[in-house]
Structure 1
Amino acid sequence: MKTIIIGDSCCDLPGDYLLENQVPIVHYMYLFKGQEYFDDFGKSMSYRDFYHEVRLGEMPTTSQVNVHTFEEIFEKYIKEGYAVIYVSFSSALSNTFANAVMAGETIREKYAGADITVIDTKCASLGEGLILRHALEMLKKGAKKEEIVTWIEENKLKLNHWFTVEDLGHLKRGGRVSGTAAFVGTMLNIKPVLHVDNEGRLIPVTKVRGRKKSIKVLADMLAERIINPQEQVVGISHGDCPEDALYLKELIMENCPVKDVLINYVGPVIGAHSGPGTLALFFFGRER
C-alpha cells in the first residue's frame, strides 16, 4: 500500500519546500484584528506584517484544529488507497493531537482496514519540521510506512529545541514566567533560554543578561550536545529577527560546522505565544 505523510502548519518548514514535495498540510487558524486567518506560511498575511502588528500591540489568539478537519483529510487519503502518517505538533502545547487521534478512530470504524498512524512528535516549529523533513526523505527513497514510523518514534526525543525570546511579556501571557519576573527581566535586559523537554513542554533552563549572550548560549548548546554535525541539517526559526538568525548561523559554522542550516520564520500560531524576536535552534543529539 502506498503511503502519504501529512504535516501541519506548526512545522515552520518553508512553504515552497512543502509545495514542491506535495505535502498535505493541516492548517491551524488564528484570530487577528477581528479576522480569522489560516496559518498558511505567510500567504494570507506576510510574516513581517504579522510581527509588525504584534510589535505595535496587537494580540493574536490561536485555536486547535478540530476533529472534523482531520476526518475530512484522513478520509480523502484512505479512499484514495493510502496508508496515512500524520506528524503532529506537540500534544503538550495543543489539543490538536488528541483531535487527530479521535478522527483516526472514527475513520477506522468507517473503513475496514484503514491504516492511519497519528504521531505525537513532542516537537514544535522546525523541531517538528526536521522530523517531517526526514520522514519525507525516507519516503522518497522507498522506505515502508512501518520503517518511517519506527524512525520517528526512535528519534523524536533526540531532537533538541533551544530558544530565547526578546520580550518576556509574551511568555508571561502564556503563563511561562510570572508577571514580576517579566517586568524585572525586561528592566534588567534579562533573556531566558528555554528548551522543549521529553513531554513536549517549554521549560526555562537559564537566564543571561543581553541578547548577544543568549544567542551564544544557543550556539554553545549545539556544540556541546550535537552528534555527527557534518551530517546534519540544523534548523533556526525566528520571530522576524533574520539578522540574529544569521548571527547564530555564523557562530555555529565557526565553532561546530554542520552540513547545512535551514532558516525560516516562526509561524503566526507559535509566534502568537512566543512573540517577535524569538530565536530557536533545532538539532539532533543523543537526547534532549
Structure 2
Amino acid sequence: MNDFVILTDSCCDLPGDLAREWGLEVLPLSVHLGDQEYLNDLDGKSISFHDFYDQLRQEAVCTTSAVNMETFQEKMEALLKQGKDVLCILFSSGLSNTYNAGHLAAQELIAQYPERKLYTVDSLCASLGQGLLIQHAVELRKSGKSIDQVRDWLEENKLKLCHWFTVDDLNHLKRGGRVSSATALIGTVLGIKPVLHVDDEGHLINVGKARGRKASLNALVDQMEETVVDPEKQMIYISHGDCLEDAEWVRNEILRRFSVKGVVINYVGPVIGAHSGPGTVALFFLGVHR
C-alpha cells in the first residue's frame, strides 16, 4: 500500500505548482526583515522573491526561524487522524533546527498512533537538493513503493545528492561565519568567488575558489562532470538568488556537455537566501558521492 503523505518544509525551494501537483504537505519557515515577519512560502505570497533580495541588497537586517515542534505536531496529527501514514523529508539538521523539531514531534505522536507509520528523514540537503530528493520519493511512491521502501531508499541515497554552490557577494557568507572578514575583503577586491558544497553531515562547506563570476559558474558544471551518474536519466535542479541569467547560463552549459532528462530552475527561498545572499547559484544532481 503506497497511500502515504509526504510532508516537508519550505527550504526544499520547489516551485509551488510542482509541490501541489505532487500532493506535498509543506510547512513554511520564516524570515524577519526589520520589524516584519514573512513566511518562506513556495509561491512567494508573503514576500516576493525579487522584493526579498532587493531588501538584502539594501542591507536590511534579516534573521530566520525554523518550524517549531508544535507546528509539526499539529500538522502531523491532523494527517494521522485522517488515517494517513506520513513520511517527513526535512531540511538538513546541519543547517537548521527544523529536522530536530520534526523528529521530536514525531516521536511523541508515534506512541499515540501505534497503528500508523510516521517517519522522519534528515535529508542532509538544502534548497533544491532537498527538492530533488523529494522528487525521487514522489516517483518511487508513484511506482508503487511502500512508505518503508521509500524511506529506506532515501536513507541509502541521500549522500549521493550533490550540492554545488557559488555566490557573487562574499559579505553574506562573512555575516554567517562561512568566511572570515579578511577573506571577504580580499576576495571582493580580487574578484575571487568561492565554490561551496553541502558535505555528508549536511553542513555548507567552502571547498574552492575561482577567479571571476563565469569561472565560478563553470566550476559548478565541472564538479558535475566529475561525479554525475547516468545524467541522461536525471532531472537536474538549479536554484538562484535572484540571478536568473546566471542560472540559465549554467543550464545551457549543462545541456552543452550532457544529455539530461530536463532542468528545473527556481529561486533560493528567503530562509536560505538570507545566509547566501543575492547572486547565489546552486546546482543539484545525483552522483557517486557528494
* Bin of the TM-score, shorter chain as denominator length: over 0.9
- 1:186 is paired with a residue whose SS is helix
- Equivalent position of 2:206 in the other structure: 204
Q: Give the residue type in structure 2 aligned to 1:26.
A: L
- Equivalent position of 1:14 in the other structure: 15
Gaps of 5+ in 2: none
* 8 Å contact from structure 1 (residues 85, 116) kept in 2: yes
Tell me by how many angstroms 1:54 deviates.
0.7
* 8 Å contact from structure 1 (residues 122, 200) kept in 2: yes
* 8 Å contact from structure 1 (residues 234, 261) kept in 2: yes
Separation in 1 of the partners of 2:230 and 2:70? Answer: 42
Separation in 1 of the partners of 2:278 and 2:107? Answer: 38
- Equivalent position of 2:114 in the other structure: 112
Which of 66, 82, 91 is matched with 1:64 structurally? 66
- Equivalent position of 1:156 in the other structure: 158
Separation in 2 of the partners of 1:141 and 1:225? Answer: 27
- Equivalent position of 2:189 in the other structure: 187
- 2:92 is paired with a residue whose SS is coil
Separation in 1 of the partners of 2:258 and 2:222? Answer: 9
* 8 Å contact from structure 2 (residues 247, 265) kept in 1: yes
Tell me by how many angstroms 1:110 deviates.
2.4
Tell me by how many angstroms 1:223 deviates.
1.2
RMSD: 1.0
Which of 250, 258, 261 is matched with 2:260 structurally? 258
The TM-score with structure 2 as length reference comes to: 0.97
- 1:118 is paired with a residue whose SS is strand
- 2:241 counterpart of 1:239: yes
Separation in 1 of the partners of 2:225 and 2:258? Answer: 6
Separation in 2 of the partners of 1:210 and 1:233? Answer: 28
- Equivalent position of 2:175 in the other structure: 173
Q: Deviations over 1:202-240 (max 9, x none)?
A: 111111110000001011111111010100001000000
Separation in 2 of the partners of 1:55 and 1:221? Answer: 29
Aligned positions of 1:38-53 closer than 5 A: 38-41=39-42, 42-53=44-55
* 8 Å contact from structure 1 (residues 29, 62) kept in 2: yes
- 2:135 counterpart of 1:127: no
Tell me by how many angstroms 1:150 deviates.
1.1
Tell me by how many angstroms 1:33 deviates.
2.9
Separation in 1 of the partners of 2:182 and 2:152? Answer: 44
* 8 Å contact from structure 2 (residues 165, 195) kept in 1: yes
* 8 Å contact from structure 1 (residues 191, 209) kept in 2: yes
Q: Give the residue type in structure 2 aligned to 1:14.
A: P
- 1:271 is paired with a residue whose SS is helix
* 8 Å contact from structure 1 (residues 107, 114) kept in 2: no
Q: Give the residue type in structure 2 aligned to 1:37.
A: Y
- Equivalent position of 1:103 in the other structure: 105
Q: Deviations over 1:77-105 (max 9, x none)?
A: 11111111000100000111111111011
Separation in 1 of the partners of 2:263 and 2:224? Answer: 12
Tell me by how many angstroms 1:141 deviates.
2.4
Q: Deviations over 1:144-203 (max 9, x none)?
A: 111111111111000000010011111111110011111111111110000111000111
Separation in 1 of the partners of 2:81 and 2:150? Answer: 22
Q: Give the residue type in structure 1 aligned to 2:134.
A: L
The TM-score with structure 1 as length reference comes to: 0.98
- 2:154 counterpart of 1:147: no
* 8 Å contact from structure 1 (residues 195, 202) kept in 2: yes
* 8 Å contact from structure 2 (residues 236, 284) kept in 1: yes
Tell me by how many angstroms 1:140 deviates.
2.0
* 8 Å contact from structure 1 (residues 101, 118) kept in 2: yes
- Equivalent position of 2:278 in the other structure: 276
Q: Deviations over 1:33-60 (max 9, x none)?
A: 3111111121111111111111111121
Separation in 2 of the partners of 1:116 and 1:7? Answer: 13
- 2:14 is paired with a residue whose SS is coil
* 8 Å contact from structure 2 (residues 39, 47) kept in 1: no
Q: Give the residue type in structure 1 aligned to 2:6.
A: I
Q: Give the residue type in structure 2 aligned to 1:112.
A: P
- 2:145 is paired with a residue whose SS is coil
- Between the two proteins, the alignment pairs up a number of residues equal to 288
